[in-house]
Amino acid sequence: MELRGPWSNRLSRMLSLGMALTMGVVIALLYLRIAERRSPPSCARGYVEAQSAADTAIVDEQPAGAASSRLDAAGGATCGELRLRGEVRD
């Protein structure tokens, strides 16, 4: 009785496992990319794109989509509050 199968069976299993892991990583990276694009605009990006004081005031009132901590996200911190605390550069 042979404890291990032939080399070709083990090789095909290892290749299948490697392909499955590779596909899993690719799918996870694509998911993260899609989630990033769908997320609300970040405060820093809003301030960079602002061209006037009125634009900056609009960004100040937006909820912080990319809050620096869970407490900021749960508390509904705005971009202006984060900017005043020095957590976002304008």
Can you give the pLDDT at residue 25?
Answer: 96
- Per-residue pLDDT tens digits for 16-43: 999 999 999 999 999 888 876 665 557 8
Q: Where are the domains of the chain?
A: 1-38, 41-90
* Cα gap 14→8, rounded to integer Å: 10
Can you give the pLDDT at residue 40?
Answer: 56
Share of the chain above pLDDT 90, in %: 27
More confident call, 25 vs 83:
25
For 59-81, the DSSP string reads HHHSB-TT-SSHHHHHHT-BHHH
